[in-house]
Amino acid sequence: MEAVATTTDNRILREDLAAVYATLTAAERAKFQDATVLITGCGGFLGYFFMHFFAEYAPELGLRRVVALENFLTGTKDWLQELTARHPELLELHEFNVITDDVAAVPGAAEADLVIHLASIASPTFYRIYPLETVDANVTGLRRLLDYYAERPLRGFLFFSSSEIYGDPQPEFIPTPEDYRGNVASIGPRACYDEAKRFGETLCYLFAQKYGMPVAIARPFNNYGPGMSLGDRRLPADFAQAVVEGRDLEILSDGSPTRTFCYISDAISGYLKVLLHGRFDVFNIGQDQPELSVRQFAELFTAAGRDIFGYPGRITFQTSADREYLTDNPNRRCPDLAKARAVLGYRPAVDVAAGIRRYLQFLHHSLTRSVS
């Protein structure tokens, strides 16, 4: 296959894409040979990185085609159109609603060897605006895909669940293993997302049992980095936006809830390994250390922001005008990665301080380029 044009001129993104490729074993890379990948929800944060990765490394992987589906409810067209225009022989973008549209009508869908079901809203701000769409993407949309591919010879089918299915674990279940059953509210502002992901996992299990589908489930833990829109409204994006705009970082709590944060290149490496696992299973994918408070996370952004943007702001504590902002918000979130390490060979490598610097460097380059 002839070499293609460089996918990006952003050094940070190029390095991150190369880091992901380096984590794949020869056997994992071989599963992409002559493969067609179908990816739903390609216009979001994770879709951004998947699409750039496939575009950049299609020649090395021997990838035949990527069929990319997006309804643009919250995803963006600008970078997608630019990327697909640069790789017309590889990337096929279709405006598509997984809830209502028929995947059988999509050119190339029938030939898919690998399916990545990303289509969902993951930001609490937006899934509370679109709660029924969030449920339907993870239940109805997933079911339609499973029905269509149930008896087709797939190499892998990846469903994106969430660490939110664990709810707010008791301290003895931190770090949280995959066999923890969770403690989730079925009624409340987060239920549309949490319960839809839980039921989606059940669907995957049932189809794997009945049809032998190679469905695998990833449970992401707090991803951030290049591709995350500043308007995403999740914590890393809010902090990055404040740094870029030179505003104070506002924390809408007392800053004590804790999380581990996984840089995007480490996350995508894990998701690809789950996709290529080839049989039913479920894996935590994230970073297991350090577990930081929201305040500590903000402090890392202010320090990196001063170096990269000359950031003049400070950390402030406010109260959200939304009375349900913190309802059912977990106090701690940290994955047990023992299973992913042992079964998949998953090894997250980017420290959170370094990851935040890389995210802000990516944004600095992108913003400098856009005004030059």
Contact 118, 69 (CB under 8 A): no
Contact 51, 42 (CB under 8 A): yes
Residue 125, SS3? helix
Contact 264, 228 (CB under 8 A): yes
Check 180, 193, 311, 359 and give the catalytic one: 193
Burial of 174 (0-12, 13-18, 19+ CB in 10 A): middle
| Residue 263 annotated to the active site | no
Closest CA to 36 of 120, 119, 103, 136: 103
Query: What is the C-alpha to C-alpha distance for residues 309 and 316, in angstroms, rounded to an integer?
Result: 19
Residue 197: phi and psi, rounded to 5, are -65, -40
Query: What is the C-alpha to C-alpha distance for residues 3 and 60, in angstroms, rounded to an integer?
Result: 9
Residue 38, SS3? strand
Cα–Cα distances in angstroms (integers) from residue 88 to residues 52, 112, 204, 221, in the given order:
13, 18, 32, 33
For residue 30, give every residue at least 6 positions away whose Cβ sits within 8 Å of its Cβ, in sequence order, or none: none
Place of tokens 């003895």: 172
Query: What is the C-alpha to C-alpha distance for residues 222 and 213, in angstroms, rounded to an integer?
Result: 28
Both structure tokens of 57:
């490394």
Cα–Cα distances in angstroms (integers) from residue 16 to residues 10, 239, 293, 350, 359, in the given order:
10, 21, 26, 10, 11
- Active site members: 193
